[in-house]
Amino acid sequence: MATILVVDDAAFMRMRMSKILTEAGYDVIQAENGLDALDKYRAHKPDAVLLDITMPEMDGLTALKEIKAMDPGAKVAMVTALGQQQIVLEAVKSGAKDFLVKPAEGDRVLATVSKLCA
């Protein structure tokens, strides 16, 4: 089964996402900020990344660009709150494949991940 990197500074969101994905049979790795995400991506080469936008240390948009520089084939979906459309647009221009709007229902998370991994 595919490995998914879940990046979010909020522990609750990470836990929720991880639970949804683990129950669906995915392997999940967690990272708490952009910098952490780069390390984990390098170490695990996950099949897909769910990347929160607003995070300390390194934000999601910067992390996306770094990940894409490291691996142009990286499959990333941005996790966004409403009102961040311009950042999502920028992320899509920078190579993000998809997005999830918080709060996202389980079905939607799984649909997005399976589309990313396809």
Partner 1 sequence: MAKGQPLTFDLDDEDLKLFNEEAEEQLELLDTALVQLEGEPDPDLVQRIFRAAHTLKGSSATIGHRKMASLTHAMETVLDAVRQDRLRPSSAVVDALLAGLDALRILAHEVVTRVDAGVDAEPLEHALHGLLQEAPPGGATVDAPPAAAGAALPANVVEALLAEVDEGRAVFRVHVGIDANCQLPGIRCFQLLQEIEALATIGHLVPEREVIEAGGGEFSMAAVVATMAHDEQLKAALESVADVASLTIESVTVDATLAIEVPAAPQAAPAVAPAGAKALDAPAPGGRPQLTVVEPGESGATNGSAPRKTTSASVRIDVERLDGLMNLVGELVIDRTRLQQIKDHLSTVLKDANLAELTENFEETTAHLARITDELQEEIMRSRMLPVRSVLTRLPRLVRDVAAKCGKKVELLTAGEETELDRSVIEEISDPLVHILRNAVDHGIETPEERRAAGKPETGTVTVTAWNQETYIYLSIQDDGRGIDTRRLRDKAVERGLVTREMADAASDEAVLQYIFLPGLSLAKKITDVSGRGVGMDIVRTNIERLNGQVSIRSTAGKGSEFIIQLPLTLATTKALMVMSNDTVYAIPLVSVTEALSEVEADLHPIAGRTTLRLRGRLLPVVDLARALGDYRTSEHQGPRFVVAAKHSDRQVAFLVDRLLGEQDVVVKSLGDMLGNRKGITGATILGDGTLGLIIDTASLVAATAALQAIA
Residues 78, 91: contact at Cβ < 8 Å? yes
Per CB under 8 A, does 86 bind partner 1?
Answer: yes
Per CB under 8 A, does 115 bind partner 1?
Answer: yes
Per CB under 8 A, does 117 bind partner 1?
Answer: no
Strand order in the sheet with 3-7: 27-31, 3-7, 48-52, 76-80, 98-101
Q: Distances from the Cα of 99 to the Cαs of 38, 53, 116, in angstroms?
A: 19, 10, 10
Among 5, 80, 109, 113, binds partner 1 (CB under 8 A): 80
Residue with tokens 């459309």: 85
Per CB under 8 A, does 101 bind partner 1?
Answer: yes
Per CB under 8 A, does 92 bind partner 1?
Answer: yes
Per CB under 8 A, does 36 bind partner 1?
Answer: no
Per CB under 8 A, does 52 bind partner 1?
Answer: no
Closer to partner 1 by Cβ: residue 30 or 95: 95
